[in-house]
Amino acid sequence: MTVLRLRGFEIHKALLDPDAQRAVLDDVRKVVKAAPFFRPVTPGGQKMSVRMTSAGKYGWMTDADGYRYAETHPNGQVWPAIPDTVLAIWDQLTGLDRQPECCLINYYAADAKMGMHQDRDEADFRWPVVSVSLGDEAMFRIGGQKRGGKTDSVWLQSGDVVVMGGEARLNHHGVDRIRAGSSKLLPKGGRINLTLRVVE
Ligand code: SIN
Ligand code: FE2
């Protein structure tokens, strides 16, 4: 296991071995059964290419009413609890007393991507965001606090975990593309990304 630092993001390569990845995936599947993936729409009316759901007290959402955290799934139900296997990753890497209140779950099919953005709907940017990659590799791009300007990119593989915190907490980031068929973890292919966030 090695740790790379890129533009202030800490990239823990292969933090999760294949058994740990499968354990997290099994738990994520239970969450998705209770809170199915949906296709979010940006405030501007664009359908996003990722499919999304959440676990925890809050889920991250976007629709015509804007980007926000919501206490219920679009179907009206509260979100399932964040699985212990996922909270354990947060505990291991952050060592914080505080636990996240949202685990956003994004599913990327082969043609999905995510534009450059900041994670800034949380109340306090002193808390880090922790991001777990499962399944197919993704080209992850990291910029600075300002939009535009220089960026660097890195392939994230299944089992890699990124900590976006400290000075880099508001750095722009996005996913350029998915390398289809690069992992066997998800039987139907694609990539799952979990992001853990302290919301309140
Ligand atoms: C995100 O920024 O919400 C997702 C990052 C990723 O998919 O790696
Ligand atoms: Fe993000």
Where would I find the H helices in 120-198?
none
Domain count, the chain: 1
The CB of 90 under 6 Å from ligand 1? The reply is no
Among the bound ligands, the one closest to the CA of 154: 1
CATH number at residue 173: 2.60.120.590
pTM (two decimals)? 0.98
Q: Which residues surround ligand 2, an ion (CB under 5 A)?
A: 119
Q: List the residue whose alpha carbon is closest to atom 2 of ligand 1.
A: 174
Query: What does each of the 200 residues of the chain score in pLDDT, given as a tens digit?
Result: 799 999 999 999 999 999 999 999 999 999 999 999 999 999 999 999 999 999 999 999 999 999 999 999 999 999 999 999 999 999 999 999 999 999 999 999 999 999 999 999 999 999 999 999 999 999 999 999 999 999 999 999 999 999 999 999 999 999 999 999 999 999 999 999 999 999 99
**117 backbone dihedrals φ, ψ, rounded to 5°:** -155, 170
Domain range for 72 is 2-197
Answer yes or no: are the C-beta atoms of 157 and 175 closer than 8 Å: no
Distance CA 176, CA 52 (A): 17
The CB of 154 under 6 Å from ligand 1? The reply is no
